[in-house]
Structure 1
Amino acid sequence: MKKYILFDHDGVLVDTESWYYKAGERALADIGFTVDKEQYLRDMSRGLGTWAQARAAGIDEQAISRQRAVRNDYYQEYLRTEAIEIEGVVEALAELSKYVRMAIVTTAKRADFDVIHEKREIRRFMDFVLVREDYKLAKPHPEPYLTGLKRLGAGKEETLVVEDSARGLNSAVAAGINCAVVHNEFTEAQDFSRASYRIETLIELKDIVLEAI
């Protein structure tokens, strides 16, 4: 039986990844640069960000810094105005909370996370949240999930990570923790061959955490 779950956030608990992409795409379009979405997804799976293509095209760091701030504004606009709920998440968390302790380990920045959860119930099921400012090295490095384990006081064998991206999966694998990958159309073409489980919805986690009983 698993006693702990460490959840990724974007694409797992809320449907935000496409809006993050659209915010970056829009910010770069403002300066005449068109993002190749397929290359963006490949870059993201390797831990690279929105700006990899722009740098490769010779856009200077000053311009990238300006457009990063613009992207952040666009993204928060989307977070406040678009429907980002994933059906069944709150109900699944309520059921899982009967059996396991849970926390969130995300690469989201604190400012974005706080906007997302101003009026949502997800946080009340969590022991804690680790955002990007809470650790030094981002996914796919194992540090985020190792930090989560330490904070929980949990053993690797007692814990399950839930992810939707290859970058997050690789972080969990590098930390030595079993990982369940939940279906997300935005990341579905990525390599999930090292996942311990593949699921369609979070309620399926109940069977996984209870399977050893």
Structure 2
Amino acid sequence: MLFDHDGVLVDTEFWYYKAGERALADIGLTLDKDQYLSDMNQGMGTWAQARAAGVDEQTIDRQRKVRDDYYQEYLRTEAIEIEGVVETLAELSDHVRMAIVTTAKRRDFEIIHEKRQIRQFMEFVLVREDYKLAKPHPEPYLAGLKRLEATKEETLVVEDSLRGLNSAVAAGIDCAVIHNDFTKAHDFSQASHRIGSLSELKDIILGATRLPALPRGPLAGP
């Protein structure tokens, strides 16, 4: 299994939005949430609205750093756990090999997981610095598949956004989409599965007949 990260394993997407909203407010702009969600769906984000308002690139570069600082502040101070994630991963780890393929930056990812238990179940993590082209391009999940040394047919991607789903579909990998309030209006018609919580993955993976447990051994590093 190849997991997306933000919105799937940790509840961070709201705080990323709030950080961008705060960074734009610093220069007198209001971030329209609906437009932001639409822009994010196309691989853009906060700065599309800034450019549309005529903000110059030097100011955008400065405020991007400000946004990143705000976001890291939220990551350190806000509750971003999703109930049941660790327990579900622990049960799945007996039966499937798992990894994370995320657009999160390495520093943000490290802050999130300084004191959390999620990484222990993953064979590796691919962050934004580990590949050239971001989702919805297939490169992130193709890179994950290669690192996992698995076939497309035996792998499942878990996502929460259309951008991520499109990346998985373009890579030729089945995708389960988990409900997220930030992305609930997206068109997920190409998803192989729609689930309300991560715990439902157990039914998809284990099915009526439980799979044999995987042999235990040391996991690879990130």
Question: 1:49-64 maps to which residues of 2 (within 5 A)?
Answer: 49-64=45-60
Residues of 1 paired with 2:40 and 2:120: CA distance?
Answer: 29
* Matched position secondary structure for 1:85: coil
Equivalence map 1:3-22=2 (5 Å): 5-22=1-18
Match of 1:199 in 2: 195
- 2: CA distance, partners of 1:12 / 1:99: 20
Cα shift at 1:212: 8.3
4+ long deviations beyond 3 Å = none
> Superposed, which structure 2 residues align to 1:1-213 within 5 Å?
5-211=1-207
Mean CA deviation greater in 114-123 or 197-206: 197-206
The alignment partner of 1:193 has SS state of coil
Query: How does the TM-score come out when normalised to structure 2?
Result: 0.93
Deviation at 1:210, TM superposition (A): 2.7
Is the Cα contact below 8 Å between 2:37 and 2:45 reproduced in 1?
A: no
Give CA-to-partner distance per residue, 1:70-100, whole Å, 9 cap, x none: 0000000000000000000000000000110
Number of equivalent positions: 209
For residues 84 and 208 of structure 2, what CA distance do their matches in structure 1 show? 25
Shift of 1:7: 0.2
Structure 2: tracts of 5 or more residues without a match: 210-222
Using the aligned pairs only, state the percent identity. Answer: 81
Structure 1 unmatched runs, 5+:
none
Tell me the distance in 2 between the aligned counterparts of 1:66 and 1:35.
Answer: 17
Alpha-carbon offset, residue 167 of structure 1: 0.5
Aligned partner of residue 198 in structure 1, secondary structure: strand
Q: Which moved more, 1:179-188 or 1:81-90?
A: 179-188
